[in-house]
Chains A and B, each alone.
Chain A
Amino acid sequence: KQEVTQIPAALSVPEGENLVLNCSFTDSAIYNLQWFRQDPGKGLTSLLLIQSSQREQTSGRLNASLDKSSGRSTLYIAASQPGDSATYLCAVLSGSARQLTFGSGTQLTVLP
Chain B
Amino acid sequence: DGGITQSPKYLFRKEGQNVTLSCEQNLNHDAMYWYRQDPGQGLRLIYYSQIVNDFQKGDIAEGYSVSREKKESFPLTVTSAQKNPTAFYLCASSMGQNYFYEQYFGPGTRLTVT
Contact = CB atoms under 8 A, between A and B. Distances in A.
Interface residues of B, number: 28
Contacts of A105: 42
B100 A32 contact: yes
B95 interface: no
B42 A44 contact: no
A100 B6 CA distance: 20
A26 interface: no
Contact of A102 (B4, B43, B99, B110): B43
Interface stretch (A13-21, A46-54, A67-75, A76-84): A46-54
Interface of B: 4, 6, 33, 40-45, 48, 56, 58-59, 88, 90, 92, 97-100, 102-108, 110
Interface of A: 4, 9, 31-32, 34, 36, 41-46, 49, 51-52, 89, 91, 93, 97-105
